[in-house]
Amino acid sequence: MVYGSPYRKEVGIEDYVSVMEKRLEYSYRIARQNLKSAQEVKKKEWSDRVNWPELQEGGQAYYLNVRKSGKLEPNWVGPYKVIKIHDDLTCTIERNGNKQRVHRDKLMLCRS
């Protein structure tokens, strides 16, 4: 036992390095697969949970007041006119005479 296990064969440095590289590549590949599948599951959970406002071009929406400085200020300001819906996530609104592209998270449908 002083000199190691009698069943252990001598391995050269090059062989040891190549075996370790293969193990690391295999571990990396498995980790990437697990991360990708976990990402897809979380994305589906998030998509099922989120409720996007059903905005229409020419309609009106309230904008989230991100510069709120006190608890007495309103959470939503507006309503503002929706100029264009670019994709699933962004819209252009006319705010104080200026056109501003905003994320849909920051908009709430005006029902009046």
Residue 86 falls inside a structural domain: yes
Residues 18-45 pLDDT 10s: 889 999 999 999 999 999 999 999 988 8
Residue 21 falls inside a structural domain: yes
Provide the 8-state DSSP code for 70.
S
What pTM was estimated for this model as a whole? 0.54
Residue 48 has pLDDT above 80, yes or no: no
84, amino acid identity: K
SS3 string, 17-52, reads HHHHHHHHHHHHHHHHHHHHHHHHHHHHHHHHHCCC
- Please give the structure tokens belonging to residue 108: 């709430």
Q: What is the per-residue pLDDT for 73? A: 82
Would you say 60 and 66 are in contact if contact means Cβ atoms under 8 Å apart?
no
Q: Do 45 and 23 share a structural domain?
A: yes
Residues 79-106 pLDDT 10s: 888 888 887 788 888 888 888 888 888 8
Where residue 5 falls among pLDDT bands split at 50, 70, 90? low
Number of domains forming the structure of the chain? 2
